[in-house]
């Protein structure tokens, strides 16, 4: 006799082909499905700014929105002896920033979520309301133009991102945001990846380049950035989320191993595993 799952009057009886029997409440089946559809967040609350999220085991993608603001950046000095790395000198610039949209990808490592190397940043002049909303490329140094498949990503380098051991995913997300905005903006992308999105976007508005013009426009109007026609991204938010998760699952992301293909377990086998772990 093969394994059997019998549902009667709110009770579940699972009988294995070896003759083992497990009796559970019907609610246990729903609990199993909820567990399968939920990433290992370990009780953490969603931080402010999370607009969308999707769990596609073992990857967890969150879309975070930072409101428009005026920010001081460490921007490479005009007379810097180095273009990037040790020896680079910086100056402070005060510039208007529109809505900034961060796509952060975590992967399951044991029972925790760990931030991966495939994180992206985009601009937008209005708040996100729907997955059909469009995005713009960010006119920033150190946000690299990376070709992948049929698209170009706005990649955040996380080589020097540091998090405390055991930090939860929310702490890691905040560390990514701090890393993105509080590091030095230099010519690393131009040297290592061939182009930054500042280099690709600096001519879309007469007050973006050089950065001193951006400062002057900010001084004149702090909401200046929301009037800039940012270079459009061909994909909307939902399409970009799908593309990022597909790239992760297909092993197209450097530093992330492609999950091993395995035959999906049946509901009966999954519930058997779940029943053996619970009472």
pLDDT, mean over the chain? 90
Number of helical H runs and strand E runs in the chain: 7, 13
Is residue 279 in some structural domain? no
Q: Are the C-beta atoms of 180 and 156 separated by less than 8 Å? A: yes
In sequence order, what are the residues at sequence separation of 6 or more whose Cβ sits closer than 8 angstroms to the Cβ of residue 220? none
Overall average pLDDT of the 227-240 stretch? 98
Is residue 278 in some structural domain? no
The residue range of the domain holding 205 is 44-263
What tens digit of pLDDT does each residue of 18-54 get?
Answer: 878 888 888 877 766 666 667 888 889 999 999 999 9
Detail the DSSP E strand segments found in 26-85: 50-56, 59-66, 69-76
Is residue 208 in some structural domain? yes
What pLDDT does residue 3 have? 79
Overall average pLDDT of the 192-221 stretch? 97
What pLDDT does residue 111 have? 85
Is residue 3 in some structural domain? no
Q: Give me the number of domains the chain comprises.
A: 1
What pLDDT does residue 13 have? 83
What pLDDT does residue 279 have? 63
What pLDDT does residue 164 have? 84
CA distance 256 to 258: 6
Q: How far is CA 157 from CA 75, 78, 193, in A?
A: 16, 23, 10
Residue 259, pLDDT above cutoff 60 = no
Overall average pLDDT of the 70-88 stretch? 97
CA distance 59 to 266: 21
In sequence order, what are the residues at sequence separation of 6 or more whose Cβ sits closer than 8 angstroms to the Cβ of residue 199? 141, 189, 190
């Amino acid at each position: 006799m093969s394994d059997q799952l019998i549902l009667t009057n709110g009770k579940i009886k699972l009988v294995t082909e070896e003759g083992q029997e497990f009796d559970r409440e019907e609610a246990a089946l729903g609990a199993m499905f909820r567990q399968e559809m939920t990433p290992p967040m370990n009780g953490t609350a969603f931080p402010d700014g999370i607009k969308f999220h999707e769990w596609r085991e073992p990857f967890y993608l969150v879309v975070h929105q930072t409101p428009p603001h005026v920010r001081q950046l460490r921007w490479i000095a005009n007379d810097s002896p180095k273009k990037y790395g040790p020896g680079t000198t910086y100056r402070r610039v005060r510039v208007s920033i529109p809505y900034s949209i961060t796509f952060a990808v975590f992967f399951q490592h044991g029972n925790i979520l760990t931030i991966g190397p495939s994180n992206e940043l985009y601009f937008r002049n209005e708040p996100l309301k729907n997955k059909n909303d469009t995005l713009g490329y960010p006119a920033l140094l150190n946000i690299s133009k990376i070709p992948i498949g049929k698209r170009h990503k706005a990649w955040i380098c996380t080589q020097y991102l540091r998090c405390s051991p055991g930090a939860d995913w929310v702490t890691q997300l905040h560390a990514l945001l701090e890393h993105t905005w509080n590091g030095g903006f230099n010519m690393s992308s131009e040297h290592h990846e061939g182009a930054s999105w500042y280099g690709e976007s600096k001519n879309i508005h007469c007050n973006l380049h050089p950065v001193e013009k951006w400062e002057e426009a900010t001084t004149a109007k702090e909401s200046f950035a929301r009037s800039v026609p940012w270079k459009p991204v061909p994909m909307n938010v939902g399409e970009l989320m799908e593309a990022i998760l597909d790239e992760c699952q297909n092993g197209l992301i450097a530093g992330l191993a492609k999950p091993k293909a395995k035959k999906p377990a049946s509901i009966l086998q999954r519930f058997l595993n779940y029943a053996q772990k619970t009472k």
